[in-house]
Amino acid sequence: MKLNRKYITPFITLVFLVVALSGLLMLFHLFDGYTEVMHESLGLVFVIFAIFHILVNWKSLKTHFGKKVFLPAAIAVAVVSTAFVIHQRGNPTLDTLIVKRIVKAPIMKAFQALNVDYDQALRTLKSNGIFIGDSKTIEEIWQKNEVPPQEVIDLIVN
Shared domain for 61 and 102, answered yes or no, is no
- Residue 113 within any structural domain of the chain: yes
Residue 83 lies in a domain: no
Q: Do both 8 and 61 map to the same domain?
A: yes
Neighbour-count burial for 100-115, b at 16+ CB within 10 Å, e otherwise = eebbebebeebbeeee
In a domain, 85, yes or no: no
Are 56 and 101 within one domain? no
**Residue among 86, 156, 89 nearest 119 (CA):** 156
pLDDT (mean) for 41-50 = 96
pLDDT tens across 75-123, in order? 999 999 999 999 988 888 888 888 889 889 999 998 898 899 989 988 9
For residues 7 and 61, state if they share a domain. yes
Mean pLDDT for the chain overall: 91
Residue 129 covered by a domain: yes
Is 53 a domain residue? yes
- For the chain, the domain total comes to 2
Question: Domain range holding 121?
Answer: 96-157
Residue 4 within any structural domain of the chain: yes
* CA distances from residue 128 to 3, 131, 135, 148 in whole angstroms, order as listed: 46, 9, 17, 13
**139/125 Cα distance (integer angstroms):** 14
The predicted model scores a pTM of 0.62
d(CA 47, CA 41): 10
